[in-house]
Amino acid sequence: MSSRRDLTLAGILPHLRRDSGGWHIVYQGVTLRSAFQPIVSITHKRVVGYEALLRASHANGAPIPPDRLFARAKSTGPALALERLARSVHFANFAEQNIETGWLFVNALPQLLRVGPSHRVFTDELCDYFGIAHHRLVIELIEQPSTDEASFDRLVETMRERDLLIAIDDFGTGFSNFDRIWRMRPDIVKLDRSLVARIAAPSGDHQFAAQLVTMLHRAGTMVLGEGVESEDELMTLMDADVDFVQGFWLGKPHGSVVQACADAPERIDAMWRRFHTRSASVPGMPVEFGSVEEAVLGGARAYKATDDLSFAAEQTFRSPWARRVFVVDRHGNQQQASIASEREAQSPRLAPLFPDTASNWSRRAYFKRALAAPGRVAVMGPHYSLTEGKDCYTAAVTVERAGQLEVFCVDFVASVQPPAD
């Protein structure tokens, strides 16, 4: 397969062969087959997609890792031929199994989408011939550096215009580019297996995982954790509010979609049972937002009645979750030093940030929300506290004194240790 016609669907179809292992193609002595791995929506508790994975082998049956196979293709021509042959095999095997719902995920090397016979035409022909709607196809673009980001963006926009979904694969590797995420707004970002393993490790920062997922959600993309091989990894991703997961723990790749997904329902049930059990057994009392709201309102009333922030703080600290009290004016300026509870020790590492008088907190969401709805308690979090040096929540409510609006604010934590018996 060396001519341009060989790389069109019409040139590839005659080379497709069918045996007991499904559709395959032999190219330069290498047999190309398909395997599919389920992708599970945590929230919907079901399989919602299937990643098509290339399985290559020598004539003697010895397997060849796909990355090694493509690395051996030293010129664009052979690499492009491999990708298009693999995609044709994937479409043939997927279509034959009559999977009526769910996305089909297929990998793509971005540099190959701009060379050879039109990728747009080739993809359209695949979808038409095998009866797979464009909106069911997720193109996984591998995270790689590009010398022409503008061209890359145009390529993505062309795919999006035709209802194809776009996924960024291998996010979290050395090539990861957050600027690219903000620009192209992919439908899905796949967290690389190495990143999943790091954040789930005992020494990993699980809160970082949650904030990373929040940033990606803010960019308008769904998040998929791949390579999940243990319950600890799965629980970390669930805590971080990841949307989708895939990996050996949920289902191993198989040529048959039904076989690949056979254990998924039981695994999903087990996943949620473990999550609920684990949440119930976490040491400490989880925050009761109703109780915090009462403490904030009580403290605000005490402050309004007495103009004594120390007295108001005493009332607020009756809530075991409250850690710091402060007041700002309607412009966000803090005139009085904040008051910390006895439970909160100030870290000397943050000494340059104190005293915290003359600070301005008008950029914080809790301040804006409190002013927008006077008298109602607004909550923000978790967010990084510049006074605690760690994550906390903040609740705020407006207080009117002498005809002026002020905002009464309370930093509080998500859980506390239960009192000793």
Cα–Cα distance for residue pair 384/358, rounded to 1 Å: 19
Phi and psi at residue 3, to the nearest 5°: -90, 165
pLDDT (0 to 100) of residue 289:
77
* Interstrand relation of 103-108 and 137-142 (parallel, antiparallel or unpaired): parallel
pLDDT value of residue 210: 82
pTM of the model: 0.77
The average pLDDT across 241-262 equals 96
Binned at pLDDT 50, 70 and 90, residue 99 comes out as very high
Question: 395-404 pLDDT, tens per residue?
Answer: 999 999 888 9
Q: What is the pLDDT of residue 145?
A: 57
Across the strands, what pairs with 391? 384
Residue 246's CB: how many other CB atoms inside 10 A? 24
Mean per-residue pLDDT, 212-241 = 92
Question: Confidence band (pLDDT; 50, 70, 90) for 170?
Answer: confident
Give DSSP secondary structure letters for 301-334: HHHHHH--HHHHHHHHTTSTTEEEEEEEETTSB-
The pLDDT-based confidence of 75 (bands split at 50, 70, 90) is low
- CA 153, 159, 165, 168 dihedral sign is negative
Show the DSSP H helices in 168-249 as ranges.
178-184, 193-200, 206-218, 231-239
pLDDT exceeds cutoff 80 at 179:
no
What structural domains and CATH numbers belong to the chain?
5-281 (3.20.20.450), 285-416 (3.30.450.20)
- Percent of the chain exceeding pLDDT 90 equals 59
Q: Are 357 and 336 in contact (CB under 8 A)?
A: yes
- In this prediction, residue 15 has a pLDDT band, given cuts at 50, 70 and 90, of very high
Asked if the model's pLDDT at residue 95 lies above 90, the reply is: yes
Instruction: Evaluate if residue 195 carries a pLDDT over 70.
Output: yes
Mean pLDDT, the chain, whole residue set: 87
